[in-house]
């Protein structure tokens, strides 16, 4: 996270300081700090960061979107416990230190040199890392609660809306009946439909955000209201951007992948919820977003091959701005690369994921979208490790081809872009015919 966010946080902490006046006047501040530090640990020195002043701001900005009671449900990838209170963090201090030191947390897979490129990046600054480690190893002092920054809005929203991180949805789509899986089932691929009635959706509307909450054993979902894979965040269409959702009555089809450990007593019934928030009347949409999937075809990964790679090229036929990428492979996937050659011969790497993780299928959203003139060529390359040295490899003795099950492989890169030509569509006014196909 960038330091500017922290400065704003610290500034707002000062603003709410009056809330703690009762506490602070009970004793001179210095004496009070000493008392709290002593509660945390006898071994802490003045130089040791404290929980309330130093650690909590880092946790709020970098960990609590997921590590809170109603944390993000990213395709069923839920953080195991909250890191909100002093006690939450104190009892897990050694694990926090090792997870940040070894770069497992916060989860993010883009190459280090991309720092600052993606607006949804999850990266700790060196000093933030150092703070967490020094606190964990320095006796985990609590410090003074008056130093605590205010609870972030996203934590309040999620706890008030039962886990919908963007606020209560306008529309929730789910199956009429839960779907049940038997004891001996491991993977199942089915298409399931949910009904959108006329009452639910009397007219076409512009989508502002889509967030999924999954029941158990839902591995991933592909549907016309947006795909959801392990580790994915809610999809948000920011000011000026929009995507149209058509009126009911109609069916929305979900291509489901269920996955669980088979065995006695593992049968489970499950459902999904897609929560949609719509844009408000009067908002102006300037960019209707589109996308494309870069598919790599005709490959076969030989058994035992530690570094198989395959590529595809894509030629842009109009001027666009690239908004985001999302590479998708299964368990043997190790790396992804998006490179572009512009018509004037310039060549640039737009995204390098050197350490792809199946459980964290991030969407990489550009802070400053690259401008891509017609005629530019995108080269998309993926790598797989089909050797026995890959701990996630389900079967190093198999030649692997394309297929939906997790033990087969997939080979695509989603790419979201927008056309440079601007529109002026006012939400609530008639929708131009070209979008109502």
Answer for the pair 195, 251: CB distance below 8 angstroms, yes or no.
Answer: yes
Residues 40 and 51: their CA atoms lie apart, in Å, by 9
Rg (CA), the chain: 24
Per-residue binder mask for ligand HEC (CB under 6 A), 263-302, x = binder: ----------------------------------------
User: Is 6 a residue that touches ligand HEC (CB under 6 A)?
Assistant: no
156 binds ligand HEC (CB under 6 A): no
Binding of residue 226 to ligand HEC (CB under 6 A) = no
Could you tell me how far CA 287 lies from the centroid of its own chain? Answer: 23
* 3-class state of residue 287 by DSSP: strand
236 is a contact residue toward ligand HEC (CB under 6 A): no
Separation of alpha carbons 277 and 254, rounded Å: 19
Least Cβ distance, residue 357 to ligand HEC (angstroms): 8
Kindly state whether residue 79 participates in binding ligand HEC, applying the rule CB under 6 A. Answer: yes
Size of the site for ligand HEC (CB under 6 A): 21
CB atoms within 10 A of CB 34: 13
- Does 350 engage in binding with ligand HEC (CB under 6 A)? no
In the complex, the smallest distance separating the C-beta of residue 40 from ligand HEC, rounded to whole angstroms, is 18
* Residue 122 to residues 1, 50, 52, 116, 252, Cα–Cα distance (Å): 7, 23, 22, 10, 33
Asked whether position 353 contacts ligand HEC by CB under 6 A, the answer is no
Cα distance between residue 337 and residue 377, in whole Å:
14
Residue 65 sits in the site that holds ligand HEC (CB under 6 A):
yes
Question: Interface with ligand HEC by CB under 6 A: which range of 63-71, 172-180, 261-269, 367-375?
Answer: 63-71
CB of 69 to ligand HEC, least distance (A): 14
Applying CB under 6 A, does 84 fall inside the site for ligand HEC? no
- Collapsing DSSP to helix, strand or coil, 350 comes out as strand
Question: Which class for 175: exposed (0-12), middle (13-18), buried (19 or more C-beta within 10 A)?
Answer: middle
Of positions 37, 73, 76, 122, contacts ligand HEC by CB under 6 A: 122
Instruction: Name the segment binding ligand HEC (CB under 6 A); options: 19-27, 62-70, 143-151, 241-249.
Output: 62-70
Identify the three-state secondary structure at position 35. helix
Task: For the chain, count helices (H), then strands (E).
Answer: 8, 22
Candidate residues 56, 84, 105, 425; the one interacting with ligand HEC per rule CB under 6 A: 105
User: Can you spell out the DSSP letters for 257-270?
Assistant: EEE---STT--EEE
Give the binding range for ligand HEC (CB under 6 A) out of 43-51, 76-84, 211-219, 401-409.
Answer: 76-84
Asked if residues 366 and 119 have their Cβ atoms less than 8 Å apart, the reply is: yes
Between residue 85 and residue 104, which ones bind ligand HEC under the rule CB under 6 A? Answer: 92, 95-96, 99-100, 104
- Piece of the chain touching ligand HEC by CB under 6 A; list 72-80, 290-298, 307-315, 346-354: 72-80
Instruction: Enumerate binding residues for ligand HEC (CB under 6 A).
Output: 62-63, 65-67, 72, 77-80, 92, 95-96, 99-100, 104-107, 122, 124
């Amino acid at each position: 996270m960038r330091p500017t966010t922290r400065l704003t946080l610290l500034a707002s902490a000062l603003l709410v300081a009056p809330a703690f006046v009762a506490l602070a006047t009970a004793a001179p501040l210095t004496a009070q700090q000493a008392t709290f530090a002593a509660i945390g640990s006898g071994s802490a020195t003045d130089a040791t960061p404290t929980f309330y002043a130093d650690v909590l701001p880092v946790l709020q900005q970098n960990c609590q979107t997921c590590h809170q009671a109603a944390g993000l449900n990213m395709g069923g990838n839920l953080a195991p416990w909250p890191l909100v209170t002093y006690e939450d963090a104190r009892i897990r201090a050694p694990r926090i230190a090792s997870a940040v030191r070894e770069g497992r947390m916060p989860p993010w897979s883009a190459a280090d040199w991309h720092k600052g490129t993606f607006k949804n990046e999850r990266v700790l600054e060196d000093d933030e890392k150092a703070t967490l480690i020094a606190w964990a190893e320095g006796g985990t002092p609590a410090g003074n609660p008056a130093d605590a920054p205010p609870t972030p809005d996203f934590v309040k929203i999620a706890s008030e809306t039962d886990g919908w991180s963007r606020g209560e949805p306008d529309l929730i789509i789910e199956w009429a009946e839960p779907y049940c899986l038997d004891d001996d089932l491991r993977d199942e691929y089915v298409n399931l439909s949910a009904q959108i009635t006329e009452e639910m959706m009397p007219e076409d509307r512009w989508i502002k955000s889509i967030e999924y909450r999954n029941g158990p054993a839902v591995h991933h979902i592909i549907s016309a209201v947006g795909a959801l894979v392990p580790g994915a965040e809610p999809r948000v269409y920011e000011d000026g951007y929009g995507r149209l959702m058509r009126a009911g009555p109609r069916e929305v089809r979900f291509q489901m992948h269920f996955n669980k450990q088979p065995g006695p007593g593992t049968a489970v019934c499950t459902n999904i919820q897609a929560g949609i928030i719509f844009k408000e009347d009067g908002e102006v949409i300037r960019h209707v977003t589109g996308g494309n999937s870069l598919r790599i075809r005709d490959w076969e990964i030989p058994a035992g091959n530690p570094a198989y790679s395959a590529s595809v090229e894509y030629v842009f036929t109009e001027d666009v701005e690239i908004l985001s990428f999302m590479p998708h492979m299964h368990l043997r996937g190790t790396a992804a690369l998006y490179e572009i050659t512009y018509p004037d011969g310039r060549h640039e790497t737009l995204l390098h994921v050197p350490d792809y993780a199946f459980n964290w299928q991030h969407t990489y959203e550009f802070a400053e979208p690259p401008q891509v003139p017609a005629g530019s060529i995108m080269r998309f390359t993926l790598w797989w490790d089909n050797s026995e040295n890959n701990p996630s490899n389900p079967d190093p003795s198999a030649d692997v081809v394309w297929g939906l099950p997790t033990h087969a492989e997939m080979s695509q890169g989603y790419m979201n872009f927008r056309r440079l030509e601007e529109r002026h569509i006012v939400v609530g006014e008639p929708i131009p015919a070209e979008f109502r196909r």
